Every structure is written in structure tokens, then in C-alpha cells.
Amino acid sequence: MFRASLIILSLIGILAPPLAYARGTAPVAVKEGTPEVAGALDAWKQAVEGGDAQAIVALYDKNAIMISTFVQQPITKNTDLLAYYKKVVANPDVRVEVEETHPRRFGNVAVNTGRYTLSYTQEGEEVVVPARFSFVYQLQSGRWVIVDHHSSAIPTPQNLNNTN
């Protein structure tokens, strides 16, 4: 009986904190550290405009996932991420103009959501792609590393009243 009670008490001690957290409120975004989060986006922008695919991929965690504006399937391997960025920077005059950001920090995790315009030259013509993004970062060894990145072209406004 004593052993069964000890096992039950041990399980309560192990399971109670996660269950209490699950029922509690979500972590609160804090303003402290948001300049560093915004700086991580600036580093990505500079790396893209610098044209070095290796430098871009170095900003990502080795297990990062990216949902790209130009690829239908999620990019889940670092080698595929490198191949993707090699194609992006092969276009001349790649530029990223950030129009809106909303960095938020949640302890060692941060999110930055907003809008940017990606532009480049393709076959002598300028291509302009207004896009929205979400970057999820994790603080690793004092550096914000991208662990998840979603970017998509801004859709044409739809009339939601006529959704047959």
C-alpha cells in the first residue's frame, strides 16, 4: 500500500505542473528583447540582399521548417532550404522592403509577423511580390535563430459575402 501511494504521489508531482500550465494562460509577450527580435529580421533581410545563400541558411536552425511564397510543399531539410535560397539569390537585384513588423518575445521564443515586398529582376523585367510573413525564433547560445518561417503572397481581397 505504501509503495502504491508513493507511485501515485510521484505521478502527481510529475504530471501536475504541465497540467496546471496547460490550464493557465498563455505566456505573455514582453517588450524587453523585441529590438533583438527585430534585429534578427534585419539580419535575414541583409543576408537575402547580400546574395549569399549560405549566410541566409546560417540564420536558420538545422531543423527549421519554411513555408515559402514560391514552393508548394513545406521545406523541412536544411539542404532543401539552401537549394531554395540559391534559386532566390540567383535573380539579380534581390531586395526586401519591410513595411510592417510586430515582434513579440515569449521567454526564449519570439515571433515576428508583418509584411514586406520582395523584388528582383527576372529576364530583364522587375518582379514585385508583396508578401506577409511570420518568423518564429528560438534563442540559442545568445542568438535568435529561425525555427519556423511562413511567407506568402498577399492575396487579392475577396468579398466574403459572396462565397458560394
Q: Domain spans of the chain? A: 28-155
E-strand stretches of the chain = 60-67, 95-106, 109-122, 125-140, 143-153
Cα–Cα distance, 119 to 132 (Å, whole number): 14
Fold of the CATH domain 28-155? Nuclear Transport Factor 2; Chain: A, (3.10.450)
Q: What is the value of pTM for the model shown?
A: 0.78
Local confidence pLDDT in tens for the 164 residues of the chain: 545 444 444 444 444 444 444 445 556 666 666 788 999 999 999 999 999 999 999 999 999 999 999 999 999 999 999 999 999 999 999 999 999 999 999 999 999 999 999 999 999 999 999 999 999 999 999 999 999 999 999 988 876 675 55
Nearest to 105 by CA among 25, 30, 35, 40: 30
